Amino acid sequence: MGADVKASLKLMIVDDSNIIRRRIERSQQIARLEVVGAASNGREAVELFRRTRPDVVTMDLTMPEMDGVECVQKLVAINSNVLILVVSALADKATAVDAIEKGANGFLCKPFTDRQLNDALAELLSEA
């Protein structure tokens, strides 16, 4: 394999909204990313994460069962190399800082355009 060929990366989508899960899957246009699963709450996400071992995760924060911040901590404890983009409506700076401190790598505020989503994912992947 040539040095310029980048390996594909597995993406897991976590959001309690079905339309947001579908929207992210449909709108993300990063060729390297392959969606391997979607979860509707933090508890499901941890189980799916163990099974599918994604490299990249988009993470909602306000969810039933287990919220996104707790989920971020659990995912990072399983694999500290995972790249997590928080996608949340919680627009205060303290929440973004808290998520980053718990192990997330980026923050995208809802509502978002397709371009904003792809820019945020591309920026996240520049760390990979």
Partner 1 sequence: MLKEAEIRTFIEGATNYFEVSAQQSATVGSPYLVTDGNPGAYEYTGVIGISGTRKGIVYFTAPRGMLTVLLMRMQETDTSDDNIKDLVGEVANTISGNARRDFGKSFVISVPVVIAHDTDKVTAPHRRSYVIPINWRTHSAKLVVCLE
Q: Residues interacting with partner 1, by CB under 8 A?
A: 16-20, 22-23, 26-27, 62-64, 88-92, 94-95, 109-113
Residue 73 CA to residue 54 CA, distance in Å, equals 15
Cβ atoms within 10 Å, residue 41: 18
| Residue closer to partner 1 (CB basis): 82 or 121 | 121
| Residue closer to partner 1 (CB basis): 1 or 94 | 94
CB of 126 to partner 1, least distance (A): 24
| Residue closer to partner 1 (CB basis): 15 or 55 | 15
| Residue closer to partner 1 (CB basis): 18 or 79 | 18
66, 43 contact by CB (below 8 A): yes
CB of 28 to partner 1, least distance (A): 13
Report the DSSP pairing between strands 33-39 and 83-88. Answer: unpaired
| Per-residue CA distances from 66 to 8, 21, 42, 47, 72 (Å) | 29, 17, 4, 12, 10
CB of 7 to partner 1, least distance (A): 29
CB of 124 to partner 1, least distance (A): 20
Helices in 1-128 by DSSP H: which ranges? 18-27, 42-52, 68-78, 93-101, 114-125
